[in-house]
C-alpha cells in the first residue's frame, strides 16, 4: 500500500486525556458527573458519554450569526 492510502491510527492511552499548558496539567475530556473523578467521558462530536454508566451530556449548539 502506498503512504497515501494508509490510515493513521489514533493515539491511545491515558496520556492522551491530558495536555500541558503554561506549565500546568489540563484535562482534555471531562469526568463523568455520576461516577466521579477517574471516569472520563468519550467525545462523540455533539455529546459526551460515559462508558461506565452510560450518562450522556449534550454539547450546546453553536448559533450561526
Q: Quote the CA–CA distance of 32 and 37 in Å, as a whole number.
A: 7
> In which residue are the cell numbers 450518562 written?
55
Q: Which three cell numbers stand for residue 51?
A: 462508558
Q: Where are the domains of the chain?
A: 31-65
Q: Which three cell numbers stand for residue 15?
A: 496520556
Contacts of 58 (CB under 8 A, 6+ apart): 46, 47
Mean pLDDT, the chain, integer: 86
Instruction: Give the confidence band of 16 by pLDDT, cuts at 50, 70, 90.
Output: confident
Q: What pTM was estimated for this model as a whole?
A: 0.66
pLDDT digits (tens, 9 = 90+) for 43-63: 998 999 999 999 999 999 877
Amino acid at each position: 500500500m502506498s503512504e497515501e492510502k494508509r490510515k493513521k491510527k489514533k493515539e491511545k492511552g491515558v496520556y492522551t486525556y491530558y495536555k500541558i499548558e503554561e506549565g500546568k496539567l489540563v484535562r482534555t475530556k471531562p469526568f463523568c458527573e455520576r461516577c466521579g473523578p477517574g471516569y472520563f467521558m468519550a467525545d462523540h462530536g455533539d455529546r459526551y458519554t460515559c462508558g461506565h454508566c452510560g450518562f450522556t451530556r449534550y454539547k450546546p449548539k453553536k448559533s450561526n450569526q
